[in-house]
Amino acid sequence: MPLFKKTKPDETPVEKLRPDEHFKHIAFIMDGNGRWAKKRGMPREYGHKVGAATFKKIAIYCSDIGFQAVTVYAFSTENWKRPKHEVDALMMILDQYLDELKRDHEQYKSHFRFIGDLSFLTPELKAKIDEVETLNMHHPQVLNVAINYGGRAELAHAVNTLMAEGKTSVTEDDISGALYTAEAGDPDMIVRTGGDLRISNFLLWQAAYAELYFTDKLWPDLSTDDIDEIVRDFYSRKRRYGGL
Ligand code: IPE
Ligand code: IPE
Ligand code: MG
């Protein structure tokens, strides 16, 4: 277990666990933005705006402390069911975030991948994504942002890709390699904020042996101290993969 010693301003030494080769990939279901805003008497869209700022802070921290891959669930294939004004606001926040990434990409020690069915995007948004995906390629770490993503749709897409390659029977490795996450691999831990105890169609195949971490905290409230606690919690678990 990797230990990292840090001295707080009050000189109290704190030992923090840091991710190592046993904890390469962390994934987040960023839930609770709407409730966070409602609690403050604000429209849900405001929660998404603050949630985007939390995403930036958490993504940068995770790459700083050494995660090889971070995958976040930003918009699901089911989120289209929401009122048009909320969907429009989310797309606008995505557009602004892409501009911010173009400007501030050097703050992230990772390159960027947008995973999901991107064919729904306007050509302008798609062009911005293509551009952002060329940035930071000197960093081997990856930040996957899932938009219009659903685990079932991803599996159907993977099977269709394999069939188009002429395969008539497939192995588990074939499927893993045809998923959007082929580069990052399976997450070691999936974190869900917002208090609900479900996966909501996220990384269904990849979650086979992921550790699950649920917190009642709403996404905009997630802090870097919470990430330290999540890392500590991960190293307290015993992964058996069906063995003893
Ligand atoms: C998660 O927050 C962000 C998206 C699904 C886009 P929600 O919008 O689901 O917030 P709650 O769960 O309603 O509070
Ligand atoms: C999951 O949150 C999707 C994202 C965080 C992008 P939802 O709020 O859509 O999930 P449900 O509807 O509560 O299952
Ligand atoms: Mg929600």
CA of 76 from ligand 1 middle (Å) equals 10
Residue 92 in any domain: the answer is: yes
pLDDT at 193 over 80: yes
Report how many domains make up the chain. Answer: 1
Of 2-11, 102-111, 119-128, the poorest mean pLDDT is in 2-11
Is 79 marked active-site?
yes
Handedness of CA 105, 16, 68, 156 (dihedral sign): negative
pLDDT at 79 over 90: yes
Q: Kindly state the tokens that stand for 65.
A: 């402390």
Which residue's alpha carbon is nearest to atom 13 within ligand 1? Answer: 34
CA of 21 from ligand 3 middle (Å) equals 32
Average pLDDT over residues 19-35: 98
Ramachandran bin of 79, using left for φ above 0, alpha for ψ from -120 to 50, beta for the remaining angles: alpha
Residue 8 in any domain: the answer is: no
Which residue's alpha carbon is nearest to atom 12 within ligand 2? Answer: 200
Please state, in angstroms and rounded to a whole number, the distance separating the CA atoms of residues 22 and 39. Answer: 38
Residue 216 in any domain: the answer is: no
CATH number for position 93: 3.40.1180.10
Which residue's alpha carbon is nearest to atom 1 within ligand 1? Answer: 31
Mutation to probe ligand 1, out of 28, 29, 33, 148 (largest number of atoms < 8 A from CB):
33
Contact 72 CB / ligand 2 (< 6 Å): no
Which residue's alpha carbon is nearest to atom 8 within ligand 2? Answer: 31
Residue 152 in any domain: the answer is: yes
Domain residue limits at 126 = 25-198
* pLDDT > 70 fraction of the chain, expressed in percent and rounded: 94
Please state, in angstroms and rounded to a whole number, the distance separating the CA atoms of residues 230 and 233. Answer: 5
pLDDT at 11 over 60: no
Residue 188: per-residue pLDDT: 98
Residue 237: per-residue pLDDT: 97
Residue 25: per-residue pLDDT: 98
Residue 14: per-residue pLDDT: 62
Residue 169 in any domain: the answer is: yes
On the 0-12 / 13-18 / 19+ scale of CB atoms within 10 A, 54 is buried
Residue 97 in any domain: the answer is: yes
Rounded to 5°, angle at Cα 149 from 96 and 198? 110
Q: Kindly state the tokens that stand for 207.
A: 């979650």
Residue 77 in any domain: the answer is: yes
Residue 3 in any domain: the answer is: no
Contact 73 CB / ligand 2 (< 6 Å): yes
pLDDT at 3 over 70: no
Is 136 marked active-site?
no
Containing 162, the helix (H) or strand (E) segment is helix 151-164
Confidence of residue 16 (pLDDT cuts 50, 70, 90): confident
